[in-house]
């Protein structure tokens, strides 16, 4: 049995969404506590994540952490609805790249912008938010999803993140992004996940 270690309104919420898309049986272990930016909170000793963060996933004795790894693990294991292109599928390369891009470029780019870090081009392994969003927007203009016609777990990670930042100083709200986020959030699995979010 799969167990998702989840804390409400954190990055683990996306895995309620993904697990609902996959339609596989799973348990939710509610992480009692996480550390907060203001110094409050703490680590739940029952949370197996190496840094006490949310999310983590257990599949029997197998522990998976880091959102992109969890997404790939789940879509490789539950292939029936094709939500993560498998080895041999022409879209596999793009799928892996978007999962890695999310963790290795998008998150660091937004965090750098938020913290107002000035990182000279050529020093960091990521690019600034402007360059990143030019690429994201060009991909979504072809759309309707990151992999073209096929919705994938990459849309869950990236769609929910765009939803969170859109309209903030970090990300301008545009018709293109709003339409994409709307498409992702309109999925019935998102509503089912929302219903499980808190309890």
Q: Does 11 bind ligand GSH (CB under 6 A)?
A: yes
167 vs 149: CA distance, rounded Å: 26
Residue 67 vs 160, nearer CB to ligand GSH: 67
Q: What is the DSSP letter of 173?
A: -
At residue 3, φ and ψ (nearest 5 deg) are -125, 120
Q: In whole angstroms, how large is the CA radius of gyration of the chain?
A: 17
The string of DSSP codes covering 46-107 is T--STTS-S-EEEETTEEEESHHHHHHHHHHH--TT-SSPPTTSTTHHHHHHHHHHIIIIIH
Residue 69 vs 179, nearer CB to ligand GSH: 69
Residue 50 vs 148, nearer CB to ligand GSH: 50
Residues from 22 through 61 that contact ligand GSH (CB under 6 A): 34-35, 51-55
Minimum Å gap between C-beta 141 and ligand GSH is 27
Residue 51 vs 173, nearer CB to ligand GSH: 51
Minimum Å gap between C-beta 109 and ligand GSH is 14
At residue 67, φ and ψ (nearest 5 deg) are -50, -45
Minimum Å gap between C-beta 166 and ligand GSH is 17
Minimum Å gap between C-beta 56 and ligand GSH is 8
Residue 100 vs 179, nearer CB to ligand GSH: 100
Minimum Å gap between C-beta 66 and ligand GSH is 5
Residue 11 vs 91, nearer CB to ligand GSH: 11
Report how far Cα 144 is from the mean position of its chain's Cα atoms: 18
Around Cβ 141, how many Cβ atoms within 10 Å? Answer: 9
The answer to whether the beta carbons of residues 21 and 156 sit under 8 Å apart is: yes
Minimum Å gap between C-beta 179 and ligand GSH is 26
3-state secondary structure of 150: strand
- Show the binding pattern over residues 61-100: x = contacts ligand GSH (CB under 6 A), - = does not: -----xx---------------------------------
Give the footprint of ligand GSH on this chain (CB under 6 A).
10-11, 34-35, 51-55, 66-67
């Amino acid at each position: 049995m799969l167990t998702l270690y989840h804390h409400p309104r954190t990055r683990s919420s996306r895995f309620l969404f993904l697990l609902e898309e996959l339609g596989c049986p799973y348990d939710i272990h509610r992480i009692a506590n996480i550390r907060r930016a203001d110094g409050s909170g703490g680590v739940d000793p029952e949370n197996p994540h190496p840094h006490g963060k949310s999310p983590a996933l257990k599949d029997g004795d197998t522990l998976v952490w880091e959102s992109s790894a969890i997404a790939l693990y789940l879509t490789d294991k539950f292939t029936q609805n094709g939500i993560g292109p498998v080895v041999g599928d022409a879209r596999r390369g793009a799928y892996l790249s978007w999962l890695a891009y999310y963790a290795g470029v998008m998150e660091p780019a937004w965090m750098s912008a938020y913290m107002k870090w000035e990182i000279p081009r050529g020093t960091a392994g990521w690019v600034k938010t402007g360059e990143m969003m030019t690429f994201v927007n060009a991909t979504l203009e072809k759309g309707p999803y990151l992999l073209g016609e096929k919705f994938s777990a990459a849309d869950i990670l990236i769609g929910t993140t765009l939803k969170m930042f859109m309209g903030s100083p970090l990300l301008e709200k545009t018709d293109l992004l709003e339409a994409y986020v709307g498409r992702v959030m309109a999925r019935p699995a998102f509503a089912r996940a929302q219903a499980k979010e808190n309890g």
